[in-house]
Chain A
Amino acid sequence: MAIVLDGSVLGLQLAVLGVGISLVFGLSGVLDLAYGAKVVAAAIVGSLVLAGGGPVLLGVAVTVGLAVVLSLGIDRTVLAPVYRRHGEARVVLSLLVTLAVAFVIDGVLVSRWPHAAFSLAVAGPPVDVLGVRMRGGSLLAAGLGLVALAATFLLLHTTRAGRAIRCVIQDEEGAQLCGIEPARVRTVVVVLSGALAGVVAVAQGLASSVAVADGFDLTILAVVVAVVGGLGRVAGAAVAGVVLGLVHALATATVGASATWVVLLLAAAVTIVLRPEGILGLGGRAPRRHTARWSRRIAGPDRTTDDDAADRAGEGRG
């Protein structure tokens, strides 16, 4: 039982990570390898606020706020040339650019604050949950993750902005033809993704702590979760996060912490082989359709399936 609860606490954080990276990828084809770095940067600045004697709520607000600002700032500046490309060229360039951003953020943090760590201590005795004694911080972290996920789903499925986001994810050009501005939708999604990065930072601070060097681990976890969930599929990422959290806890308890990464990546590999469209699948659709779906969506105007394709015969596929 303790394993299940520990796994769930971790899994909810992984789910938020995966949803945060998957939303942006699903929308724009940008796989953000700086996602973990943003989480850490936000957390470290939050820790500076706390170290300077700031109140906890201010630290939390600064953390989430900074994650949003970083997200939007990076999207508007260094990612601008990426958005001018389409299709595979955009995906590949996004990997390079966000990786560079991750190195820069990581470098600045490690050189300026090598020993900083963000931790939000929760006072009080452990709480008894289903016969397991859980730390208050872990429970708060889990609750925060759950609230963030629920809020994201409500936004996506009950609001007009959410419907616009889902449309652009499914077919950007189709959305434009309906009068939806992809650029505006992207702003909403980038802010949302940044806020989720902030939530991960705070939740991680509650459950244990965020250290300066954690960025790349977080990014890898986010990518693994997003891939297992089916790249770009938000619900899939949420489910994959919780499942991988449970696998992680189980692996730590049985084979030990050192082999956990191997087990986690193995589990991810098995899922990808068995369900190439992601853990939730696509309701009986062929995998080929799924790949076609997102590649077509971000392919831009130089790629077409229509009968006048000969018009553009001279245009490359990238």
Chain B
Amino acid sequence: MLEVRDLHAGYGELAVLHGVDLSVGVGEVVALIGANGAGKTTLLRCVAGLHRPSAGALTFDGAPLAARSAAAIARAGLRLVPSDRRLFPQLTVRENLLLGAHPRRVASADLRRVTALFPRLAERWGQRAGTLSGGEQQMVAVGRALVGRPRLLVLDEPTTGLAPPLAAELYAALASLRTETGITVLVAEQQLPRVLAMAERGIVLERGRVRHRGSSTELADDPAVRRAYLGVG
């Protein structure tokens, strides 16, 4: 569904990605693992069309993404939820969610699905998004992506800055979403146990290069990965 081939990207003189290959198949959950500065966000921003790679190829459903705007990529069904969420702070939770399907009208069934997934959003329905807690904002951001009926949901460190119970709640919701809809997900994380519990495969990024790749169990058992990301071994 998503193919990334030999992707190079950077900011001015600073090269961040040095030839990254990655593929996500239909229905898969793939974890993108790496420390701060490994290039996860840059990779995901390239995928979403928010950052222009300096070399390499990106295709979504077989079609190249290079010429498409970020908005066109979102409308095509590839939805990024950035780690800073990018909600509209002055708009209410409801209004934020209603914008997710632009230019279509959001189906009420989609809204109900979001509130079923994140019941606490129903309590915050009329509240301005800027006044919500970090965890609630993350739920709105995921919900806003979901009402756009994505075929590929891309999450950038969804639990960054969240209290552990909220992080657990978010991952529980994502897991149930996954079993219900079979949605394809690419998720960048530093919290290994959580993300490997949900993902089938993982890719470990270090300083802009793929260092390890394998199934979730392989990665969880790999001594090098355990040492670097689990603080054990």
Interface residues of A (CB under 8 A from B): 160, 163-164, 166-167, 170-171, 173-183, 285, 293, 301-302, 304-316
- Chain B 85-96: CB-based contact to A (< 8 A → 1; otherwise 0): 111111100010
Closest 10 CB pairs of A and B: A308-B41, A314-B14, A310-B37, A174-B86, A315-B11, A179-B75, A176-B70, A306-B83, A179-B74, A170-B88
B144, A308: Cβ atoms closer than 8 Å: no
Report the nearest A residue to B87, measured CB to CB.
A174
Can you list 17 A-B contacts (CB < 8 A)?
A164-B102, A167-B99, A170-B90, A170-B91, A171-B89, A175-B99, A177-B81, A179-B71, A180-B102, A181-B72, A306-B41, A306-B82, A307-B83, A308-B36, A311-B16, A314-B14, A316-B12
How far is the CB of B86 from the nearest CB of chain A, in Å? 3
CB neighbors of A among B47-96 (8 A): 48-51, 69-72, 74-75, 79-91, 95
Report the nearest B residue to A316, measured CB to CB.
B12
C-alpha spacing A164/B130, complex, angstroms: 18
- Identify A174's interface contact among B41, B42, B88, CB under 8 A: B88
Contacts of A311 in B (CB 8 A): 11, 16, 37-42
C-alpha spacing A171/B83, complex, angstroms: 14
User: Given known contacts A178-B102, A314-B14, is B37 in contact with A308 (CB within 8 Å)?
Assistant: yes
Interface residues of B (CB under 8 A from A): 11-14, 16, 36-42, 45, 48-51, 69-72, 74-75, 79-91, 95, 99-103, 130, 144-145, 148, 156-157, 160
Report the nearest B residue to A160, measured CB to CB.
B103
User: Given known contacts A308-B36, A308-B41, is B80 in contact with A177 (CB within 8 Å)?
Assistant: yes
B100, A178: Cβ atoms closer than 8 Å: yes
Contacts of B74 in A (CB 8 A): 176-179
Contacts of B40 in A (CB 8 A): 308, 311
C-alpha spacing A315/B71, complex, angstroms: 24
Contacts of B95 in A (CB 8 A): 163
Report the nearest A residue to B40, measured CB to CB.
A308
Number of A-B contacts (CB under 8 A): 124
Contacts of B156 in A (CB 8 A): 306, 308
Contacts of B130 in A (CB 8 A): 285
B84, A314: Cβ atoms closer than 8 Å: no
C-alpha spacing A10/B81, complex, angstroms: 47
C-alpha spacing A306/B156, complex, angstroms: 9
User: Given known contacts A302-B11, A306-B156, A315-B11, is B39 in contact with A177 (CB within 8 Å)?
Assistant: no
How far is the CB of B156 from the nearest CB of chain A, in Å? 7
- Identify B84's interface contact among A170, A305, A313, A316, CB under 8 A: A305
B102, A171: Cβ atoms closer than 8 Å: no
Report the nearest B residue to A176, measured CB to CB.
B70
Contacts of B99 in A (CB 8 A): 163, 167, 175, 178, 180
Report the nearest A residue to B12, measured CB to CB.
A315
C-alpha spacing A81/B97, complex, angstroms: 34
C-alpha spacing A174/B79, complex, angstroms: 11
- Identify B148's interface contact among A160, A167, A179, CB under 8 A: A179
B79, A177: Cβ atoms closer than 8 Å: yes
C-alpha spacing A306/B48, complex, angstroms: 16
Contacts of B70 in A (CB 8 A): 173, 176-177
C-alpha spacing A177/B81, complex, angstroms: 8
A314, B48: Cβ atoms closer than 8 Å: no
C-alpha spacing A167/B39, complex, angstroms: 28
B50, A176: Cβ atoms closer than 8 Å: yes
C-alpha spacing A151/B82, complex, angstroms: 35
Contacts of B82 in A (CB 8 A): 173, 177, 306
